[in-house]
Structure 1
Amino acid sequence: MGTPQSSRADDLPVLFDARERLPRPDLSGLLRLRFLTTTDFPPFNFADQTGRLSGFHVELARALCAELGIEAKCQIQALPFAELEGALDGGQGDAVMAGIAVNDDLRGRFAFSRPYMQLPARFARHKQAAFAGEDANALFGRRVGVVSGTAHEAMLRAFFPNIEPVGFADRDRMLEDLKGKKIEAVFADSLQLSFWTAGEASGGCCALLGGAYLSERFLGEGLTIMVRRDDPALASAFDSALAALSRNGRLQEIYLRYFPYGLF
């Protein structure tokens, strides 16, 4: 069955081989490049206090355009999430960056860049709870909260059989019980836990425990850029530009700006 990959680094894991030089299609004939995103997925994409599109995806899109030498041709537009696929398919945009989970159905209808970020799972613990260590081994035989029916529950059961899962109907109730020490630890999305433990909502009650865990089987292959199936050259261009941004540190720089607490 295998084991999940664990990471303890604050840095964004490198998903591109620094020695690999990916081919870069010529986009000089491109009239414009329209990115589609949403405003409801902070800190990836959101509208700031002035109504301006902001976030990791927005800045990454601009960095990609700069790397490809087509800044003047790039546009970024926000739509409701449910309209993204239809808008791309209908030619209202050329690329979607909005955290869409890749599945077999989408693979059959669209093309995708390589992943540029993976979203891991993590444990969080109550600071007043006594544990024998600071990693998952400290949870041996302990009760750990997880939202029922989620990929995180399936992952917890599969990879941590010595932990007793305690199911919750939703994340808010689970975190309230962790804050109130009705449960001593939880397992959930690293993005949500990192901002919650560092934010006002937690009241400083809790902290992340151990490193981050990745599993393509349960958590998917990661965040990618979706393009029309008949535009594979654009996906290849994104791959080349993403690899370059990974090599020169720009991808890491953008990541740290929007994820100051780290996901890993």
Structure 2
Amino acid sequence: MKKIALLGALALTAFSAMVQAEEADLRIGIEAAYPPFAFKTPDGKISGFDYEIGNALCEQMQVKCEWVEQAFDGLIPSLKVRKVDAVLSSMSITPDRLKSVDFTKKYYHTPGKLAMKAGSVINDPLVDLKGKKVGVQRASTYDRYASDKFAEAGIEVVRYGSQNEAFLDLASGRIDATLADVVNIGEGFLKTDSGKGFALVGPDFNDQKYFGNGAGIAVRKGDAATAEKFSNAIAALRSNGKYQEIQGKYFTYDIYGQ
């Protein structure tokens, strides 16, 4: 019986070691509802620029990564309680977010923009949008900007769990405009059937206080080692051409910015 027990214990130890060996080195949080950066394919798999760049970064760092999908407003809380080790989900590097998490260097930088019915003229958003409804994604930089600027100007801010929900309400006429990333609006809405009859309007939104200096990968506060590894890998992908190869699948221009 002792031999059987010993063999069982050895088998359990070997199995535990095998499971541990298969565990991911890094768990990366992502919201898969933000095309073309991250979205679900018809077979339910995650795809998009963020996802492919993330996989390329993991390969460059020679680590095994596991993707953890969840709503955008839950990504930073999950990072803080160690459910994920990093967040790669088009998250802007802003002064407000830097109070609670650290970031890598940027991996792309694009401005915010308004989408409205084609033909709409917006010269001064704080004046021209007064009395109108503007949709934003909850917990995004656009939400914070709209809450601080639009609400005080008499503009009704409508918040959504995902940007796709805002696009749906814009197309159906339940809101008058949406404020979001210019690329997301163009690729995720204007180029779709739902986006026919709509257009980008008004000025670019790039106030660094709210929109930061581009999108980066968030890590836990003080985790300089992980941030540096990602930053070095981003530079390597830019240098070896892998970044440009992935970018070319989704964009016809360089979204890295200046």
Q: How many equivalent residue pairs?
A: 215
Aligned counterpart in structure 2 of residue 231 of structure 1, from 218, 223, 230: 223
CA distance in 2, matches of 1:86, 1:152: 22
CA contact (8 A) 1:35 1:97 kept: no
CA distance in 2, matches of 1:97, 1:130: 34
Counterpart of 1:24? none
Counterpart of 2:16? none
Q: Which amino acid in 1 is paired with 2:112?
A: A
CA distance in 2, matches of 1:130, 1:58: 34
The aligned runs of 1:135-214 (5 Å cut-off) are 147=134, 150=143, 151-152=145-146, 167=156, 169=158, 171=166, 172-177=168-173, 186=177, 188-189=179-180, 190-194=182-186, 195-202=188-195, 204-209=196-201, 212-214=204-206
Question: Which has the larger Rg?
Answer: 2
Q: Does residue 1:78 correspond to 2:65, yes or no?
A: no
1:50 partner SS: coil
CA contact (8 A) 1:147 1:153 kept: no
> Cα distance, 1:85 vs. partner?
4.6
Q: Which amino acid in 1 is paired with 2:103?
A: F
More helix by share: 2
Q: Which amino acid in 2 is paired with 1:147?
A: V
> Cα distance, 1:221 vs. partner?
3.8
CA contact (8 A) 2:32 2:69 kept: no
> Cα distance, 1:39 vs. partner?
4.8
> Cα distance, 1:156 vs. partner?
7.3
Counterpart of 1:15? none
Aligned counterpart in structure 1 of residue 246 of structure 2, from 251, 254, 259: 254
Structure 1, gaps ≥5 residues long: 1-30, 159-163
CA contact (8 A) 2:102 2:218 kept: yes
CA distance in 2, matches of 1:106, 1:33: 25
Compute the TM-score of the two structures, normalised by the length of structure 1.
0.59
CA distance in 2, matches of 1:60, 1:214: 24
> Cα distance, 1:187 vs. partner?
6.2
Q: Which amino acid in 1 is paired with 2:104?
A: S
Identity of aligned residues (%): 22
Aligned counterpart in structure 2 of residue 95 of structure 1, from 79, 86, 107: 86
> Cα distance, 1:120 vs. partner?
2.0
Counterpart of 1:117? 108
CA distance in 2, matches of 1:83, 1:174: 24
Aligned counterpart in structure 1 of residue 33 of structure 2, from 13, 16, 41: 41
**Structure with the greater relative contact order (CA < 8 A, sep ≥ 6): 1 or 2?**
1
Deviations, residues 194-230 of structure 1 (Å, cap 9, x unaligned)? 132221113x213334774422223244322122345
Structure 2, gaps ≥5 residues long: 1-22, 137-142, 160-165
CA contact (8 A) 1:38 1:46 kept: no
